[in-house]
Structure 1
Amino acid sequence: MNSSLFETTVPNPIAYLDRVAATDLGRSYKKRMLDELGVEPGRTVADLGCGPGTDLGALADAVTATGAVIGVDHDESAVATAGERTAGRDNVTVLLGDLHELPLPDGSVDRARTDRVLQHVADPARALREARRVLRPGGRLVMGEPDWGTLTVDHPDGELSRAYTRYVTDEAVRNARIGSQLPRLAADAGFAVPTVLPITSVFRDVRAADGILGLERTTRRAVEAGHLTGEAARRWLDHLADGPFLAAVTFYLVVAER
């Protein structure tokens, strides 16, 4: 196996988010999210789960100096980084807070976004109710989440592919199917859901896929969890490294209106 193809150590969370944002895929879907938000000058926009502030600058440019952008994240290191990256932007505020109990008043924002955050939270339904609470009537929430149940990694032994995906959906990601569940959860939270946009990401280069999916790291964890044997993991990774490669997963962009 050409193990040098694969990243074996877990990347720093902030570095990983920056890496994803810098890919063609990241730039493309983030632009589509911004378009769907329909941000106008003078609006107040909340980035819920803003991480290291990746998208705060683009939002600040969209609302102009007459508007306001509020980033909220539960991670102190991410909040500190976001604050550093937006220093000098008077229309940006970054707050430490929990998406289940947002540090914002009722009806205080015009637009809100969540980007690959709800797959990780303890209670997505509660987070959606909180997002609705802080939106003004007529406000809009735009969410982007993968459905990891759609993950396909081609392999001559289809059962190995299915076992890998089962591990990802059953154990690796807390809310692995959240992408396709978002329209229902948003409706249950009281939103209207006018738009659902599926975006299928296709990877033909194993290095590019590994940078996003962490193929070897995830495979090793699948072995530890009993989803794959050590021998099966070797056969799986050998083909991914040496054979023609294809992986795909569907990302859902969902627009919800209050």
Structure 2
Amino acid sequence: MSNDEMPRVPAEDLNPLIRLLDAADASPGAAALRARTYELLHIAPGIPAVDVGCGTGRAVAEMSERGTEAIGIDASVQMIDEGRRRRPDLDLRVGDAYELSLPDGSVAAYRADKVYHELDDPAKALGEAFRVLTPGGRIALIGQDWESFIIDSDTPTITRTIVQARADTVPNPRAARRYRNLLLDAGFEDVSVEVRTGIFTDATMLPMLSGIAEGAFAAGALDREQADRWIAEQAARAKAGRLFLAIPLFLASARRP
């Protein structure tokens, strides 16, 4: 069964985060970025692979369709339940990035997509990645720098405040810019870093923009009128086809010696 054939439920019945992730993951840019990780991981038939922070399992499905023995692990029971509903044939497990339920040296590929910014201790998670990888195994990390969102608006000062306030709510908002050094510190070799920029100009990401403004209001970084005015401007831009959001995504890869 391909991703396009996955059983569907009405969008209104899905968790808002799952709806947002589905929309983002369906974009051509996201698909190309996932495919690039499979290249860097040397994905091939028969190799064991793990996707940490797998969400509902889209990458696990794509790696499985390439013949890998793919496992998906996520801390969210709801994500795993939804993934199992969509693809009962996948090996999806609830688990912790710090303590993976895998033997030492049991996988040849380790993938984590937009996960490490949510971790209090990325170095500990990389130590666990090093443990489960075989010698010569590959790792690929994807993530956005939460202070680097680029949003066009009529009020750039308020926009900067909103972006920074949202970043301040993330456990490790600058984890992606640290990927290279974190991998080197963990003992990985052949470390490389690439960047891709996701650009959104329609209403797809409007819920995310509204969400970061609401988060800034909740944190006391701006008042209700400022938040409402900023959200209304972004909604008007989306309706007119004038919204502009750019999110640089960093892709780091390395080899376990």
* TM-score between both structures, scaled by the size of structure 1: 0.85
* 1:45 is the counterpart of 2:39: no
* 1:111 is the counterpart of 2:109: yes
* TM-score between both structures, scaled by the size of structure 2: 0.85
Q: Which residue of 1 aligns with 2:9?
A: none
Greater Cα offset, 236-245 or 145-154: 236-245
Task: Return the alpha-carbon distance in structure 2 between the equivalents of residues 19 and 58 of structure 1.
Answer: 17
> Which residues of structure 1 form unaligned runs of 5+?
1-9
Query: Compared with structure 1, are the counterparts of its residues 186 and 194 closer, same or farther at alpha carbon in structure 2 (3 Å cutoff)?
Result: closer
After superposition, the C-alpha distances for 1:4-29 in whole angstroms (9 at most, x for unaligned) are: xxxxxx94333333222212232221
After superposition, the C-alpha distances for 1:151-180 in whole angstroms (9 at most, x for unaligned) are: 121223221111011112112x22212211
Letter in 1 for 2:163: T
Would the aligned equivalents of 1:146 and 1:179 in 2 still touch at CA under 8 Å?
yes
Greater Cα offset, 18-27 or 135-144: 18-27
Would the aligned equivalents of 1:116 and 1:146 in 2 still touch at CA under 8 Å?
yes
Would the aligned equivalents of 2:51 and 2:72 in 1 still touch at CA under 8 Å?
yes
After superposition, the C-alpha distances for 1:106-148 in whole angstroms (9 at most, x for unaligned) are: 1111111011111212321111110111001110011111111
Task: Return the alpha-carbon distance in structure 2 between the equivalents of residues 148 and 183 of structure 1.
Answer: 17
Q: Which residue of 1 aligns with 2:215?
A: 221
Residue 80 of structure 1: how far off its partner (Å): 3.0
Task: Return the alpha-carbon distance in structure 2 between the equivalents of residues 132 and 45 of structure 1.
Answer: 13
Residue 100 (structure 2) aligned to one of 86, 102, 122: 102
Query: Compared with structure 1, are the counterparts of its residues 223 and 193 closer, same or farther at alpha carbon in structure 2 (3 Å cutoff)?
Result: farther
Q: Which residue of 1 aligns with 2:5?
A: none
Letter in 2 for 1:68: E
**Which portions of structure 1, spanning 4 or more consecutive aligned residues, are displaced by more than 4 angstroms?**
none
Between the two structures, name the one with larger relative contact order (CA 8 Å, sep ≥ 6): 1
Residue 186 of structure 1: how far off its partner (Å): 1.3
Query: Within 5 A, what are the aligned runs for 1:123-138?
Result: 123-138=121-136
Q: Which residue of 2 aligns with 1:5?
A: none
* 1:210 is the counterpart of 2:206: yes
Task: Return the alpha-carbon distance in structure 2 between the equivalents of residues 114 and 221 of structure 1.
Answer: 25
Letter in 2 for 1:242: A
Task: Return the alpha-carbon distance in structure 2 between the equivalents of residues 156 and 82 of structure 1.
Answer: 40
Aligned residues: 239
After superposition, the C-alpha distances for 1:71-103 in whole angstroms (9 at most, x for unaligned) are: 212222322333344434xxx533322110111
Would the aligned equivalents of 1:198 and 1:252 in 2 still touch at CA under 8 Å?
yes
Query: Compared with structure 1, are the counterparts of its residues 27 and 188 closer, same or farther at alpha carbon in structure 2 (3 Å cutoff)?
Result: same
Task: Return the alpha-carbon distance in structure 1 between the equivalents of residues 220 and 198 of structure 2.
Answer: 28
> Which residues of structure 2 form unaligned runs of 5+?
1-13
Task: Return the alpha-carbon distance in structure 2 between the equivalents of residues 18 and 156 of structure 1.
Answer: 29
Query: Within 5 A, what are the aligned runs for 1:72-91?
Result: 72-88=73-89
Task: Return the alpha-carbon distance in structure 2 between the equivalents of residues 95 and 240 of structure 1.
Answer: 38
Residue 195 (structure 2) aligned to one of 198, 201, 210: 198
* 1:182 is the counterpart of 2:207: no
Query: Compared with structure 1, are the counterparts of its residues 75 and 208 closer, same or farther at alpha carbon in structure 2 (3 Å cutoff)?
Result: closer
Task: Return the alpha-carbon distance in structure 2 between the equivalents of residues 84 and 257 of structure 1.
Answer: 34
Q: Which residue of 2 aligns with 1:7?
A: none
Task: Return the alpha-carbon distance in structure 2 between the equivalents of residues 194 and 140 of structure 1.
Answer: 10
Letter in 2 for 1:209: M
Q: Over the residues paired in the alignment, what is the CA RMSD in angstroms?
A: 2.0
SS in structure 2 opposite 1:199?
Answer: strand
